[in-house]
Homo-oligomer: A and B are copies of this chain.
Amino acid sequence: MSIRYISQKLAQQIDEELMSTAGAFSLDQLMELAGLSCAQALAKSYPVQSHKRVMVACGPGNQGGDGLVAARHLHHFSYQPTIYLPKPGSKDIYKRLLKQCENLDIKVISDVDGFKTGLRESDVILDAIFGFSFEPPLRAPFDQVLKAITATSLPIVSVDIPSGWSVTKGSQPLYTKPDDGGEPEKIETFTPDVLVSLTAPKEGVREFKGRHWLGGRFVPDALAKEFELNIPPYEGVDQVVELPQA
């Protein structure tokens, strides 16, 4: 039985079940384990000896929270992460996760120019901008951010769904929605080298050809069975398992 690629709706439903009274998980717990998975997948793909400087690009939602957790663990794994966080999420948890990173003296950048400069001093990008809730069009400053990532030759590790891709259809024509009401611009999406799917891969990455990790070793067996996720066995104490390449 091969692994199931799940819809945006099912991904939302699984998260809701895990955090329901019945599922009993807190967002703090799930985000900690998800972010740890991302850090482990990056470390297994790009060793610290050759890829010490990691640009962790964080969006304003849960995906960005995973990025903040990953940045902290990468620091403890001896990497030198830099966080790009243009729009900090408003929930208390994001503020705490950011503070935890600041307490480790991890550099935090909020402007696009700083991000572009930072990319020139990085060895690998962790893309935690948009998650499975993303809906186009693309708004500032993320149009500039996606362009900058596409323009670099750095290896890219994307979390859950490459930022800018359709959760359902994958890489699709993507347009901006300028704040000044001007003409939409077509943006070229990037294809990451490595993907870390959380809980289960999403429909949009079915054709993804790079190295593909699955993280989130917390899905209860009953839930995996109910939704026929067909999660492959993890090894040892790993928080990620590599999926066969498409």
Q: How far is the CA of A100 from the CA of B44 in the complex (A)?
A: 29
A28, A78, A97, A233 pick with most chain B CB within 10 angstroms? A28
Would you call A236 and B43 a contact (CB within 8 A)?
Answer: yes
Contact with B along A82-107 (1 / 0, CB 8 A): 00000000000101110110011100
Would you call B100 and A25 a contact (CB within 8 A)?
Answer: yes
* Copies per complex of this chain: 2
Q: How far is the CA of A40 from the CA of B239 in the complex (A)?
A: 11
Q: How far is the CA of A97 from the CA of B218 in the complex (A)?
A: 12
A147 interface residue (CB < 8 Å to B): no
Would you call B43 and A237 a contact (CB within 8 A)?
Answer: yes
Q: How far is the CA of A93 from the CA of B24 in the complex (A)?
A: 9
Contact with B along A49-74 (1 / 0, CB 8 A): 00000000000000000000000110
Q: Which residue of B lies closest to A31 (CB)?
A: B29
Contacts A76-B217, A218-B76; A24 near B99 (Cβ below 8 A): yes
Would you call A104 and B25 a contact (CB within 8 A)?
Answer: no
A152 interface residue (CB < 8 Å to B): no
Would you call A76 and B234 a contact (CB within 8 A)?
Answer: yes
Residues of B within 8 A of A29 (CB): 28-29, 32
Residues of B within 8 A of A138 (CB): none
Of residues 187 to 246 in A, which have CB atoms within 8 Å of B's CB atoms? 217-218, 220-222, 233-234, 236-237, 239
A119 interface residue (CB < 8 Å to B): no
A binding-site residues for B, Cβ under 8 Å: 22-26, 28-29, 32-33, 39-40, 43-44, 72-73, 76-78, 93, 95-97, 99-100, 103-105, 217-218, 220-222, 233-234, 236-237, 239
